[in-house]
Chain A
Amino acid sequence: MTEALYRIQNFVPIQASELLNKVRDMKSDGQRLGQICCTKVEEGFEILYSFDKDHVLTNLRLTVPEDEAVQSVTGVYWPAFIYENEMQDLFGVKFKNMALNYEGRFFKVSEPTPWNPQK
């Protein structure tokens, strides 16, 4: 019978300064980027980078203030452009060095950053 791998969740908190190195480590370990997700929290944004290897999940959790630009990981995982542009359009997360930046036009939104309305 298959082991219940879905129970392994692995949420690992990381600092903004170590993001790129950690993501590079994941890549060299053969991990696949599963998704990136943003949650609005009191401290700013909580960004979850999920990776998969052999059906086991690992999540890097980065918490950043709203006005701080996050290093893009598209240089390591190009498909991350989907998620970074989504977070940029819906939450207003700022990214540095994006490989493919739609500059707010990936989603056709009727108001800027609808999931994090500016006061």
Chain B
Amino acid sequence: MSKRTVIPFGPQHPVLPEPVHLDLVIEDEKVVEAVPSIGFVHRGLEKLVEKREFPEMVYVIERICGICSFGHGWGYCRSVEGNMSIEIPDRAQFLRTIWHELSRIHSHLMWLGLLADAFGFESLFMHCWRVRETILDIFEETTGGRVIFSVCKVGGVRRDIDGEELKRIVDILAKLKDEIKKLADVFFDDYSVRNRLCGVGYLSKEDAKELCAVGPMARASGIRQDMRLDGHGAYPYLDFEPVLEEGGDSYARCKVRIREVFQSIELIAKAVKRIPVGEISAPVKGNPSGEFIARMEQPRGEAYYYSKGSGSKFLARMRVRTPTNMNIPAMVKTLQGCDLADVPMLILTIDPCISCTER
């Protein structure tokens, strides 16, 4: 047996914009075990429900993460609305869905750029982020913000998007699709990209189930699991099937995300076609006193938003379980047996968001 060495990975590392630590047990150049450690920047945002009234708490929850910020806000609002049995107007459901799918496009494009950067394809990284800017421009035009939007509130949304603007968004996305297609061809067919991704970090369907993987990590191993299928928002009207791949490796995870970008563009076009006219928010009366769990399909996977009311303006408990939390066990599993040189890229393929994890 070769000598085992423990190599500390992180909390600071070029591929990690946020701190997470792994003790990598190495035998020759192969990883035999990885022990994760988090909590370096844990903020305890959930605890703030004791000091912030439930309508104000949306602003805090949105700040869990700057990438899936809208989804966090929506998840929290859905949880409180379920708690208080508030029915949201259909137009608000469609608007929320459109913003959420735009967030998925921008998140996946950002991730694709980071992945390209991790395997040294700088120009591909820059093109992914250039295309992503268009989505951020749409956010700015429709919400006033590029990162944190603050358009979601308990009871609905704060801003409407008029018909002309919605059509313009669909046109912009149709043009963007051609640009993304060019990027997708590189990710799918380029020899050097395939060389770095194919067969790397394999996670079987059985392991993905056993390790309770979520999001693209699970779907790339052939598991049909997508919280958009639970009937919330405008998704029941959009008639879609989750993107699935069977490969289970880093290439399959990359493919799922690229295909999801195209799917989100289609979902937005469908939503714009079917969006009804009407109110964008419902009145909120009283205080939450029950409990409710809302689940969202964030770009990284399933997220939980549990609210427990106290009958006052302050919730007794707010719990957010983010997708990266749930994918840590699967990440640890895929690291076992991989080459030391593949570790940074493999960690990236779960699309870790430490901001979310350290909520």
Contacts and interface: CB of A to CB of B under 8 A. Distances in A.
Given A82-B328, A107-B38, A115-B44, A39 B231 contact: no
Given A5-B230, A105-B37, A79 B42 contact: no
B39 A89 contact: yes
B319 A37 contact: yes
Interface string A93-115: 00000000010011111000011
Given A9-B292, A109-B39, A35 B304 contact: yes
Interface stretch (B123-131, B232-240, B335-343): B232-240
Interface residues of A, number: 36
Interface residues of B, number: 39
A11 B292 CA distance: 10
B329 interface: yes
Contacts of B295: 6, 34, 57
Given A6-B231, A55-B229, A106-B38, A79 B294 contact: no
Contact of A3 (B210, B231, B237): B231
A96 to B, nearest CB: 21
Interface string B209-253: 111100000000000010101111001110000000000000000
Contacts of A48: 306
A32 to B, nearest CB: 5
A109 B38 CA distance: 11
Given A6-B230, A78-B329, A89-B39, A11 B212 contact: no
Nearest to B209: A32
Nearest to A89: B39
Interface of A: 1-7, 9, 11, 32-35, 37, 39, 48, 50, 52, 55, 57, 59, 77-79, 81-82, 89-90, 102, 105-109, 114-115
